[in-house]
Amino acid sequence: MIVDQIRESVLSGLKELYDQSFQEKDFQINQTRPEFEGDYTVVLFGLVKSLKKSPDALGHELGAKMVSNNPTLFTAYNLIKGFLNLTVSDTYWVDLLASNTDASCYGKGAPNGQRIMVEYSSPNTNKPLHLGHLRNNFLGWSISEILKGSGADVFKTCIVNDRGIHICKSMLAWDNWGNGATPDSTGIKGDHFVGDYYVRFNEEYKKEVKELVDRGMKEVEAEKEAPLMKATQEMLLKWEQGDPHIVGLWKMMNSWVYSGFDITYKKIGSDFDKTYYESNSYLLGKEDVEQGLKNGVFHQKSDGSVWIDLTDDGLDEKLVRRKDGTSVYITQDIGLARLKYTEFKIDQSIYVIGDEQNYHMKVLKLICQKLGMPFANDIHHLSYGMVELPTGKMKSREGTVVDADDLVDEMIRIARQHTMELGKVNDFTEAELDALCDTIGLGALKFYLLRVDPKKRMIFNPEESIDFHGFTGPFIQYTHARIRSILRKESIDFSHKPAGEGLLKLEKQLLIELEQFGNIILQSANELDPSQMAIYIYTLAKTYNTFYAEHSVSRAESEEKKELRLRISLLTAEVIRSGMAMLGIKVPDRM
């Protein structure tokens, strides 16, 4: 890549001139700001001190050396204060097109043998997916594709939280008040159907608590003593004992939820290579506790409970086994981490989980490290901020959530409305139109959630619908459709190299940006940050639109220019398509 070549040239130039060795940390290479002449800039200040030279003298000596050493790569340099601006030859940029006639895999890394697992989505089976889950699903899917793009083998997994006290709540509510209703009998999607009973439970439970408080009981106590809570705990106990009625109820209601999830996952494009169920894995990790006790990582208190002391690491004491011998959340996670490692022989394990669990993930990694597990150092938490409403946090118990299905449907509806108003695809069949509106609506939604730095929390205002103009998915999709429209009408002659001299500013700018694609993939992968990809694709599309308004492709000044611009357009379209695919967003040929 060009930045690497410049770096090499700087290092060897310095070596020749001053017989000193430097590292890449000692200077910076940036894209030259548009108000100056040049393509890339070497910032010299970091070198000045140890060479005992003025930035001016150093810049001229180094610039001249670099140009004379690499006459085919650099055509000129200029120096402003401590900034050495280099002009890269037009031939270099145009050769980019010649060496990438097969644009479909452009920018992607060669297979590197890395095996990476990405756990994401991880729903509870007591309620439908909401906006927060969408951010999780889009991030998980996207980072998986970006990691694949960087050359890794990726395994997508999901841990379904299908058991526990919260699951029993909706089960109990259905048992009490369901009157045998089913998703089929009511026509309600299965996950919503079950979620409604979860909400119902909490309503009734609240009433009971209030009644007890009114009779003089303390709230904390009332929450424990409410008959519904007691009944739920009893149900959980029966489930753990394998009570046939309870297990049957559990299986039936979970199957309703799964059929609902399937529809949603299919719509939003989430899928998994392996699904783990908590009902199968919640007993994992017990041997790890035994092992930890043996080698002194854990210690047992007089009541029989088992702990790990993390105070030396700035954390607290953490329980890993209750006094009654049952395991806690973190214990399962230790066991599951081990299972993933042994089943898939993975080099890295990435967890897409909200930032409310930052502490938990820190503890998990630390415990695995202390237990001497070989995979411990390769656990990474892709932590993301909560999606909140202007009114504050979403609470599923109170039903104040933006439902995933509703939101997706709404986005598609708006996409259809825009599309019909513009009337550009009136010849589409109904099926084609449906597919297009799905693409645009979901594209808008996914881009909206992915363009923001994952670790930042974001506020979503349902009153202001997600935009289709500007820094959005549809803007990029539209740019792609425009390019395809040109390419449909013209053909490209791949038999010869496009002419290389006299690149116009915008032609060169596009090539410079296209050249960066490979670096962007690596950077997004290394930092587990799809927003960098989103910003890059947007910038590229924006540059293309400026170019499009300024210069004609079909009616270029000469055949050579036309050929060159067709090739640039094709590569731009491919990079947009490929980059958007890594965000889980499709791009249409027409819209």
Q: Which of 126, 472, 509, 578 binds RNA (CB under 7 A)?
A: 472
When asked if residue 81 is in the footprint of RNA (CB under 7 A), the reply is: yes
Q: Which is nearer to RNA, 32 or 121 (CB)?
A: 32
Q: How far is the CB of 374 from RNA (least distance, A)?
A: 25
When asked if residue 170 is in the footprint of RNA (CB under 7 A), the reply is: no
Q: Which two tokens stand for residue 352?
A: 């897409």
When asked if residue 554 is in the footprint of RNA (CB under 7 A), the reply is: yes
Q: Give the dihedral sign, CA 40/41/46/51.
A: positive
Q: Which of 206, 267, 397, 457 binds RNA (CB under 7 A)?
A: 457
When asked if residue 32 is in the footprint of RNA (CB under 7 A), the reply is: yes
**Residues 492-531 contacting RNA, CB under 7 A:** 523, 531
354 forms bridges with which residues in the sheet? Answer: 384
Q: Which is nearer to RNA, 215 or 469 (CB)?
A: 469
Q: How far is the CB of 391 from RNA (least distance, A)?
A: 12
When asked if residue 356 is in the footprint of RNA (CB under 7 A), the reply is: yes
When asked if residue 33 is in the footprint of RNA (CB under 7 A), the reply is: yes
User: Rounded to an integer, what distance in angstroms lies between the CA atom of residue 416 and that of residue 330?
Assistant: 46
Q: Which of 130, 200, 340, 484 binds RNA (CB under 7 A)?
A: 484
When asked if residue 470 is in the footprint of RNA (CB under 7 A), the reply is: yes
Q: Which of 9, 70, 85, 126 binds RNA (CB under 7 A)?
A: 85
Q: Which is nearer to RNA, 186 or 300 (CB)?
A: 300
Q: Which of 16, 184, 266, 359 binds RNA (CB under 7 A)?
A: 359
Q: Which of 301, 395, 413, 505 binds RNA (CB under 7 A)?
A: 301
When asked if residue 281 is in the footprint of RNA (CB under 7 A), the reply is: no
DSSP state at residue 336: H
Q: Which of 19, 21, 25, 427 binds RNA (CB under 7 A)?
A: 25
When asked if residue 455 is in the footprint of RNA (CB under 7 A), the reply is: yes
User: What's the length of the chain?
Assistant: 591
| Close Cβ partners of 335 (under 8 Å, ≥ 6 residues apart) | 281, 283, 284, 285, 286, 287, 288
**Residues 136-155 contacting RNA, CB under 7 A:** none
Binding piece for RNA, criterion CB under 7 A, among 243-251, 334-342, 397-405, 538-546: 538-546
When asked if residue 107 is in the footprint of RNA (CB under 7 A), the reply is: no
| Close Cβ partners of 322 (under 8 Å, ≥ 6 residues apart) | 305, 328
Q: How far is the CB of 179 from RNA (least distance, A)?
A: 29
User: Rounded to an integer, what distance in angstroms lies between the CA atom of residue 50 and that of residue 58?
Assistant: 12
The CB density around residue 36, as the number of other CB atoms within 10 Å, is 11
242-261 footprint of RNA as x/- string (CB under 7 A): --------------------
Vertex 112 angle, CA 353 and 135, to 5°: 20
When asked if residue 218 is in the footprint of RNA (CB under 7 A), the reply is: no
Q: Which is nearer to RNA, 25 or 294 (CB)?
A: 25
3-state secondary structure 111-134: CCCCEEEEECCCCECCCCCEHHHH
Phi, psi (rounded to 5 degrees) for 365: -65, -45
Binding piece for RNA, criterion CB under 7 A, among 74-82, 150-158, 177-185, 496-504: 74-82
When asked if residue 161 is in the footprint of RNA (CB under 7 A), the reply is: yes
User: Rounded to an integer, what distance in angstroms lies between the CA atom of residue 283 and that of residue 521?
Assistant: 39
Total residues at interface with RNA (CB under 7 A): 94
**Residues 388-407 contacting RNA, CB under 7 A:** 393
Q: How far is the CB of 111 from RNA (least distance, A)?
A: 25
Q: Parallel, antiparallel, or unpaired for β 28-31 and 40-43?
A: antiparallel
Q: How far is the CB of 142 from RNA (least distance, A)?
A: 15
Cβ proximity of 134 and 445 under 8 Å: yes
572-591 footprint of RNA as x/- string (CB under 7 A): -----------------xxx
Q: How far is the CB of 126 from RNA (least distance, A)?
A: 10
User: Rounded to an integer, what distance in angstroms lies between the CA atom of residue 429 and that of residue 481?
Assistant: 18
When asked if residue 12 is in the footprint of RNA (CB under 7 A), the reply is: no
**Residues 414-433 contacting RNA, CB under 7 A:** 415, 418-419, 422, 424
When asked if residue 76 is in the footprint of RNA (CB under 7 A), the reply is: no
Q: How far is the CB of 115 from RNA (least distance, A)?
A: 26
Q: Which is nearer to RNA, 154 or 521 (CB)?
A: 521
Q: How far is CA 487 from CA 195, 284, 474, 554, 589, in A?
A: 49, 56, 20, 9, 10
3 state SS of 157: strand
Q: What contacts 24+ positions apart, CB below 8 Å, involve 42-48?
A: 42/6, 42/10, 42/83, 42/84, 42/86, 43/82, 43/83, 43/84, 44/82, 44/83, 44/84, 45/82, 47/14, 47/22, 48/82
Q: How far is CA 227 from CA 107, 172, 177, 222, 536, in A?
A: 61, 12, 15, 9, 56
Q: Which is nearer to RNA, 138 or 189 (CB)?
A: 138
When asked if residue 309 is in the footprint of RNA (CB under 7 A), the reply is: no
